[in-house]
Amino acid sequence: MLDFDFYSPEEEIALPFYEEHRVRVFVKRDDLIHPYISGNKWRKLKYPLQQAKKEGKSRLVTFGGAWSNHLLATACAGAKFGFRTYGFVRGETIDNPVLKLCQLFDMELHFVDRESYRDKKALFDIHFANSEEAYFIDEGGYGLLAAQGCTEITNELHRTYDHCFCACGTGTTLAGLALGINTQQCGTTLHGVPVLKGGDFIRDEIVKLGVLNAVDIRLHLDYHFGGYAKTKPELIEFIKMFTRQTSILIEPTYTGKLFYAVHDLIGQKQIAEESTVLVVHSGGLTGLLGMLDKF
Ligand SMILES: *Cc1c(COP(=O)(O)O)cnc(C)c1O
C-alpha cells in the first residue's frame, strides 16, 4: 500500500499571554507533515488515494479555487504516489504561484466558469464519462474517507485535552476529530473556527459525515474576518506577533483565524483556568504566497 508515514509532533506553546490566563496550549504540528501535501490535506487524501489504487485508477480528478491548498496537495500527492492529476479551477483563466506549483507537479488544469463549477459531479461526468481511469475527489477533499484520515489525529495524541480547536473550510477535519473524540470518550470539548462567512452550514456537513450529538462541539462564527481569504489589519498584526513569539508560521486564510480565535476566547475567559487546549495546525502555508502584500 501507499506509504503515508510522517512526522507531526505535539508541542506546548509557551506564550506569556497563555500563562497569565493559566491555560496550557499545545499545537499538533500537522504543518510539518509535508510542505505541499500539507497538514489536513495529507490526512484527507490518505484513504481516497488508497481506495483509488485499490480500484486500479490512475488519474485523480479534483476541484478548487485558484489558491487552493487542496489542488496543490493533490498535484503533489499524484506525483508522489504515481497518479496523473487533473484539476478543475473555479473562475477565469489566470496564473499564480500556487497554480504554477500544481503544474510543476504535472497537474493538468482546466478553468471553468463559476456557474458550471457549482456541480462537480456533472463536470466529472461530462469530461470523464468514458474514463476507466479517473477517480473523483471532491472540492477540499470533502468526504467520509477523508474524515477517517483526520480521525487519526486523535489516536496520535500523548495526553487528553479539555479543549481541541481546528479551522473549518468544508468541516471534514472537524468531523474526523469529532468521530475520534467520540470513540475515545475522552470528554474533550471540540471547537470549530469556520473561515467563511455563515459558517453555520458546517453543522449540517458534519452530520452528513456521521457525526452525532455525542460530542460537545462549538462553532465560533465570528472569526472569518469578512469571509473566505479575507483579512483585516488586526489579523495580520496578530499573525506577526504570534509568529515572532512562537517561531510557528501561520497564515491569514485558515490558521491565522484559528489561533486568533483561541487567543480571543482565552482573553474573554471562555476557556477556564487550568484547562489544557490542543490546536490543530492544519498547515496550508503556501496560502501565504497570495497574501504577502498584506504584510
Ligand atoms: C483546507 C484547509 C482547511 C479546511 O479543512 P476542512 O477539513 O475542509 O474543514 C483548514 N486548514 C488549512 C490550512 C487548510 O488548507
pLDDT (tens digit, 9 = 90+) per residue, 258-281?
A: 999 999 999 999 999 999 999 999
Which is nearest to 152 in space by CA: 49, 35, 30? 30
Across the chain, mean pLDDT equals 96
User: Whose CA is closest to atom 13 on ligand 1?
Assistant: 284
pLDDT tens figures, 3-18: 888 899 999 999 999 9
In a domain, 156, yes or no: yes
Over residues 29-36, the mean pLDDT reads 97
Separation of alpha carbons 83 and 197, rounded Å: 35
In a domain, 77, yes or no: yes
Going by the DSSP 8-state scheme, the letter that residue 188 receives in this structure is P
- Grid-cell match 478543475, residue found: 88
Are residue 34 and residue 175 in the same domain, yes or no?
Answer: yes
pLDDT, greater one: 130 or 189:
189
Are residue 148 and residue 245 in the same domain, yes or no?
Answer: yes
Separation of alpha carbons 66 and 93, rounded Å: 9
Closest atom of ligand 1 relative to the 142 alpha carbon: 8
Over residues 245-262, the mean pLDDT reads 98
Q: How much is the pLDDT for 212?
A: 86
126 is written with which cell numbers? 461530462
| Cβ atoms within 10 Å, residue 4 | 19
Are residue 161 and residue 125 in the same domain, yes or no?
Answer: no
Separation of alpha carbons 173 and 166, rounded Å: 8
Separation of alpha carbons 68 and 90, rounded Å: 10
Distance between Cα 58 and ligand 1 center (Å): 25
Distance between Cα 43 and ligand 1 center (Å): 11
Q: How many domains does the chain have?
A: 2
In a domain, 3, yes or no: no
Are residue 162 and residue 251 in the same domain, yes or no?
Answer: yes
Residue 84 has pLDDT above 90, yes or no: yes
CB 284 near ligand 1, within 6 Å = yes
pLDDT band for position 226 (50/70/90)? very high
Over residues 150-165, the mean pLDDT reads 97
